[in-house]
Amino acid sequence: MLKRYFISLLGSLTAIWISVMLVMILGMTFAISSVVRTFDSSKPVAKVEKNSILCLDLSGVIEEKGSLANIYDVLNEKPQPAVLSDIIDAIDAARSDRKISGIYINCEGASAGIATRESIRKALADFKKSGKWIISYANTYSQGDYYTASVADEMFLNPIGEVDLRGLVSGIPFFKGFMDKVGVEMQVVKVGTFKSAVEPYILTHMSEANRLQTRTFLDNIWGKITEEISKSRNVSVESLNHLADTLGALLPAEQLIEQKIVDGLKYTDQMEEYLKDKTGKSVDEDLNLINVRDYLASAPEVPHKKSEKNKIAVYYACGDITEGGNEGIASDRVVPDILNLANDDDIDAMVLRVNSGGGSAFASEQIWHAIEVFKEKGKSVYVSMGDVAASGGYYISCGAEKIYAEPMTLTGSIGIFGLIPCAKTLLNEKLGVNIDFVETNENSSAPNIFEPMTPFQYARMQNMVERGYDLFTRRCAEGRHISQDSIKAVAEGRVWDGMTAQKIGLVDELGSLNDAIEALAKAKGYKKYQIVSYPSEKDNFLDMLLKLNSQMKLNAIKNELGSYYPIYKRLKELQELDPVQARMEPIEIN
């Protein structure tokens, strides 16, 4: 009895101790986040003086939309990601701001998609029409930064710096060899000759169809990049390709001046002196450099933010499409959001900003339906595509009245597939694990990872995928107002660049998010309008805590696995996938 009493008492004290520690941790985290918010809000608003220079730092990640600050990053003093819409707004505002003399682009190696860079470059080109100057500088120009900054009036480079122009490459890791070694077979059902998202699990190299589509859009995008650099720098496309072919990045910097790739060589202190001279400052005076975040905090007049009425919702749909979760495009969050906007009397128009390679076919259909409900209320929907709006990303876009894409957006990939792993060899032969079933019906346990699918099960899965493909192409045909056969002719899972997508009817116009917004405002007859961004980011303590916990776990896994982390990540993604996917493989263009 006494022993049970002490065990019970010890258990109670342990529970109390754990509760107290948890409350303390929560309280400390809350206090830290409060301090961070207080610190941010107490910072003095930057003063924009005469002859100020807007400083555009091309460094770190550029996101589509701002998000809650990650406490882990704040505590580790990591800079918050730049936001594309903020960059565009700042450039647009500076164009007519008499206190801004010009823009200085500091190129330090930004991480951004090609269409994102294209959008920034276009905004910079529009800025130049005001007669103001743009100057860029880099210790070393990455290829992406050079493309963005090549619109500048003058480009400067560190005397021992490089310009890394080498052309585009798309690399895809293939896991079949690894899966064969560990004893896992990936069972695939799909529709679409070009639907290549399944290839890494069933092949050891690209199929000819995938190589063809990749070569086509890479050539088109590289052609667009070199054409724009050629016009801005007055250098022939042939010269740019020769530089890329011969590893021009390794040339002495002086030769880059001779080839008109840059205009001059300066160290950072010399660059500062040059900017001072440009704005009439003496050597002893401070340079009036103001970054994007501080400039927007000073409340400049952004051209399109003009009215409290005529609200246009801009809904950001970025990331993987899933049925649930706190990240990406989760239908259980997005659908209620769009239905609420459909019932909001203050909102009559919406631009859906899509940056997604797709995901769950089921979730994509639910979001498509919610957009149809929005339209049934007599409200207008345009789509603006970012770096990628393919597969499920195109599914949720196809019902819009008009679709805008950047010339270098990757879109299309209209196709469906299913993946069912079979780990029988791994379990039976390598691990010595045997699974036995007692079933009431012939397929009670199907599908499962312990046994390969039977021909009957394969046929059932194939029929389901084909029904999904038929529905997908029908939705596209209805949305684009063309026949289903016409859609199928350009579908088959093929990925298209934005320029080609417009020619074949998958896209209406080539342009940026702002172009789509302005076109929608004009169609609605709005002379003045206000943009309201969704989904709104609530300063929710629990969400912040969950993000902190998730980040800490992720970092621990990365540290533990080291170079094996990419394989772990891909296998974990497979484990969490819905059975039927409208998704393109992740394509990283360098």
What's the rounded Cα separation, in Å, for the pair 435 and 426?
A: 12
Pinpoint the alpha helices (H) of 252-360.
Answer: 253-258, 268-278, 292-297, 331-342
Q: 391 an active-site residue?
A: yes
- Cβ atoms of 515 and 126 closer than 8 Å: no
For residue 11, give the 3-state DSSP assignment: helix
For residue 118, give the 3-state DSSP assignment: helix
Question: What are the angstrom distances between the C-alpha of 399 and each of 271, 355, 543, 583?
Answer: 50, 16, 32, 18
Burial 457-475 (b: 16+ CB within 10 A, else e): bbebbeebbeebbeebbeb
Strands lying side by side in the sheet with 185-191: 185-191, 416-422, 580-583, 358-360, 321-322, 329-330
What's the rounded Cα separation, in Å, for the pair 495 and 548?
A: 36
Q: 483 an active-site residue?
A: no
Residue 259 CB neighbours (<10 A): 16
Question: What are the angstrom distances between the C-alpha of 55 and each of 58, 128, 232, 586?
Answer: 9, 15, 20, 32
- Considering the candidates 331, 364, 391, 512, report the single residue annotated as catalytic: 391
At 588, the amino acid letter reads: E
Let me know if 415 is exposed, middle or buried by CB neighbors in 10 A (0-12, 13-18, 19+): buried
- Considering the candidates 65, 122, 190, 195, report the single residue annotated as catalytic: 195
Burial 359-378 (b: 16+ CB within 10 A, else e): bbbbbbbbbbbbbbebeeee
Catalytic residues: 195, 391
